[in-house]
Amino acid sequence: MMQLIWNGLIVGSFYALVALGYSMVYGIIKLLNFAHGDIYMLGAFVGFFTLSAFGISNETSIPLLLVILLLSMVTTGLIGVGIERVAYRPLRRSPRLAVLITAIGVSFTLEYGVRQIFGPNPEAFPVRLESRGVDLLGMRITASQIVLVVIAAGLMLVLAHIVERTREGRAMRAIALDPQAAQLMGVNVNRVISTVFFIGSSLAGAAGVMAGAYYGSIDFLMGFVIGLKAFTAAVIGGIGNLYGAMLGGVLLGMLESFGSAWFGGEWRDVFAFAFLILFLTFKPTGLLGARVVERM
Amino acid sequence: MSALEVRDADVYYGRVHALRRLSFDVGEGEIVCLLGNNGAGKSTTMNMLSGLVRPRSGSATWNGMDLTTAKPWNIVADGLIHVPEGRRIFSTMTVHENLLLGGYTVRDKRVVGERLDRVYETMPRLAERRRQQGGTLSGGEQQMVAIGRAIVGGPRLLLLDEPSMGLAPLVVKQVMEIIAAVNAQGTTVLLVEQNARAALKIAHRAYVVETGAVTLSGTAAELARDPRVVEAYLGA
């Protein structure tokens, strides 16, 4: 039981990190960025590429993992900014469907671009998590698992601080509410949108590296399902809402963990997407979405 | 010398010719009012000055800055601040956060703090409601937030688009008093109003705008007596 919670928490923190970017981008430009899951995949491959270039394999060093994590975050952040600049910004005034289709195109480009470079077969991620651990309250916990969860939580805290307390974060929330009014405050809207893409993409990249180390293998389609899962998490929490994405991610991780334990692992995805459909049907604003009080 | 000079500005929305060779001036320290009906081009004029729409031809300069090419955020940073029609308060953010956003371009936090204090001092209603969401305020309070937000930005020229819209007469009077007070402290004001009676009370000069062009101009006192203005905008 406790083990299921712990496993759910780990996987859930990956979902949460990816869902945050999904939700932030949706919040600020109302785009469902279907290429976002592939940024997660890119994060894993940036880590794989760098480590392989240095001839590293089968390492279990945590500091090394942190260095790679940081490097992947910066790289995927910049890639995210580039994608917005090239693919989405020119379509800012176009119908939403056009941008959505473009996002799917970007997703394919990233997936099959990586396939072209690294081939279709799964690769072993060079940094692994050590399997030695301690038994605690009936859970088997390893040090590196704790590191993953702490990093994920730390990243979320930093993000929450940026969005809630800083000038840039206020500008992000202002754009989400009324881009033109934000511009009248002197906000350079395009620059702030780029910042959001950087942050969102780097969080997804971080999750990709962490997942590479956690599962041990990576492939060019690994972002597809997690993209959908992160979307599900964002919807459960209330899309556009930061804490919603975190809550939704962890909740979805738990649901899957318990779902596969009770009904068998093959039902895991069915479980997740059934919840997506339930939420979209009965509570499309999610758990924390749309608490808007307005009076004119 | 005029602080703001608009000469022969032409603005189009697609095929719609919204401003037709519009020209006017605002002098340093003045309150100038643009009067006119819906669709006369008053808001378009404001949007052109703050860089949201660009004229096809003509010029708009402010203290040497070419407003037809300047980036909107540089215009704001330079002290030309636009309070838009309908206030456009960030509805789910608190009053305090709304005011802080007004100081987005101000790098010095101490300056922002001082201006915030001044806003709360001159509009104590906002101080009472500083933790409340902007969208829950009354129309008059929202207008105060909108003006307060602009003050935190440190305006040298304040553009106000229909500040009296939808407000009760007593509240209109309060808002106009706030505007006159801001002007008295040295801020130049360009005011767009349909409520000519209220606007002409505080304005020094005014222009009447019809279908995108100036048709009449003069001091506020002259226009308030002009039979054409009285008939069209003041109601005999």
Residue-wise pLDDT tens digits, A208-240: 999 999 999 999 999 999 999 999 999 999 888
pLDDT attached to residue B2: 77
Average per-residue pLDDT for chain B: 94
pLDDT attached to residue B1: 57
Residue with tokens 């705008």: B209
CB contact under 8 A, B76 and A184: yes
pLDDT attached to residue A290: 59
pLDDT attached to residue A292: 40
Query: Cα–Cα distance between A293 and B93 in angstroms, integer?
Result: 10
pLDDT tens for B8-56 read: 999 999 889 999 999 999 999 999 999 998 889 999 999 999 999 999 9
CB contact under 8 A, B84 and A174: no
CB contact under 8 A, A181 and B91: no
Alpha carbon A230 to chain centroid, angstroms: 6
Greatest mean pLDDT among A1-10, A225-234, A259-268, B75-84 lies in B75-84
- In this prediction, residue A288 has a pLDDT band, given cuts at 50, 70 and 90, of confident
The residues of B whose Cβ lies within 8 A of any Cβ of A are: 50, 52, 71-73, 75-77, 81-84, 88-93, 97, 100-102, 104-105, 133, 135-139, 149, 153, 166
Contact criterion met (CB below 8 Å) for A123 and A219: yes
Q: Which residue of A has its CA nearest to B149?
A: A185
Both tokens of A281, joined, read 């049907």
Higher pLDDT among residues B80 and A279, named by residue: B80
Most A CBs within 10 A among B49, B73, B141, hence the mutation to make, goes to B73
- In this prediction, residue B87 has a pLDDT band, given cuts at 50, 70 and 90, of very high
- In this prediction, residue A296 has a pLDDT band, given cuts at 50, 70 and 90, of very low
pLDDT attached to residue A113: 96
Alpha carbon A166 to chain centroid, angstroms: 22
Q: For B126-220, where are the E strands, in sequence order?
A: 157-161, 188-193, 205-210, 213-219
**Complex confidence, ipTM:** 0.93
Q: For chain A, where are the E strands, in sequence order?
A: 123-124, 133-136, 139-142, 217-218
Contact criterion met (CB below 8 Å) for B2 and B176: no
Helix (H), strand (E) counts: chain A: 11, 4
pLDDT tens for A174-183 read: 999 999 999 9
With a pLDDT cut of 70, the percent of chain A lying above it is 98
pLDDT attached to residue B49: 97
Average per-residue pLDDT for chain A: 90
Neighbours of A15 (CB within 10 A): 30
| Residue B81 pLDDT exceeds 90 | yes
Q: Is A178 exposed, middle or buried (0-12, 13-18, 19+ CB in 10 A)?
A: middle
Higher pLDDT among residues A57 and A252, named by residue: A252
* Phi, psi dihedral angles at A286 (to 5 degrees): 75, -175
Angle at B44 between CA B38 and CA B45, to 5 degrees: 110
Higher pLDDT among residues A134 and B225, named by residue: B225
Q: Give the pLDDT mean for B134-151.
A: 95
pLDDT tens for A183-199 read: 999 999 999 999 999 99
Q: Give the pLDDT mean for B105-115.
A: 95
Query: Cα–Cα distance between A207 and A169 in angstroms, integer?
Result: 22
pLDDT attached to residue A295: 33
pLDDT tens for B173-216 read: 999 999 999 999 999 999 999 899 999 999 999 999 999 999 99
- Which range among A52-66, B20-34, B64-78, B211-225 shows the weakest confidence by mean pLDDT? A52-66
pLDDT attached to residue A87: 96
CB contact under 8 A, B153 and A293: no
Question: What is each CA distance from A163 to A27, A37, A156, A236, in whole angstroms?
Answer: 12, 22, 10, 21
pLDDT attached to residue A294: 32
Please give the DSSP secondary-structure letter assigned to residue A130.
-
- In this prediction, residue B233 has a pLDDT band, given cuts at 50, 70 and 90, of confident
**A62: number of CA atoms within 13 Å, CB side?**
11
State the amino acid at position A189 in one-letter form: V
A contacts of B84 (beta carbons < 8 Å): 180-181, 184
Domains of chain B: residue spans and CATH: 2-234 (3.40.50.300)
Most A CBs within 10 A among B78, B80, B92, hence the mutation to make, goes to B92
State the amino acid at position A147 in one-letter form: V
pLDDT attached to residue B108: 94
Name every residue whose Cβ is closer than 8 Å to that of residue A4 and which is 6 or more positions away in sequence.
A254, A257, A258, A261
Contact criterion met (CB below 8 Å) for B6 and B20: no
pLDDT attached to residue A20: 94
* Phi, psi dihedral angles at A200 (to 5 degrees): -60, -45
pLDDT tens for A19-42 read: 999 999 999 998 999 999 999 999
3-state SS record for A139-158: EEEEHHHHHHHHHHHHHHHH
**Number of residues written out for chain B:** 236
- Which range among A103-107, A128-132, B66-70 shows the weakest confidence by mean pLDDT? A128-132
Name every residue whose Cβ is closer than 8 Å to that of residue A163 and which is 6 or more positions away in sequence.
A169, A172, A173, A242
Contact criterion met (CB below 8 Å) for A14 and A152: yes
Residue with tokens 């601040």: B81
Q: Give the pLDDT mean for A165-173.
A: 95
For the stretch B87-110, what's the b/e string if a residue is b when 16 or more beta carbons lie within 10 angstroms of its beta carbon? bbbbbbbbbbbbbbbbbbbbeeee
Neighbours of A167 (CB within 10 A): 18
| Residue A76 pLDDT exceeds 80 | yes
Query: Cα–Cα distance between A169 and A167 in angstroms, integer?
Result: 5
CB contact under 8 A, B73 and A292: no
A contacts of B48 (beta carbons < 8 Å): none
Phi-psi region of A236 (alpha: psi -120 to 50; beta: other; left: phi over 0): alpha
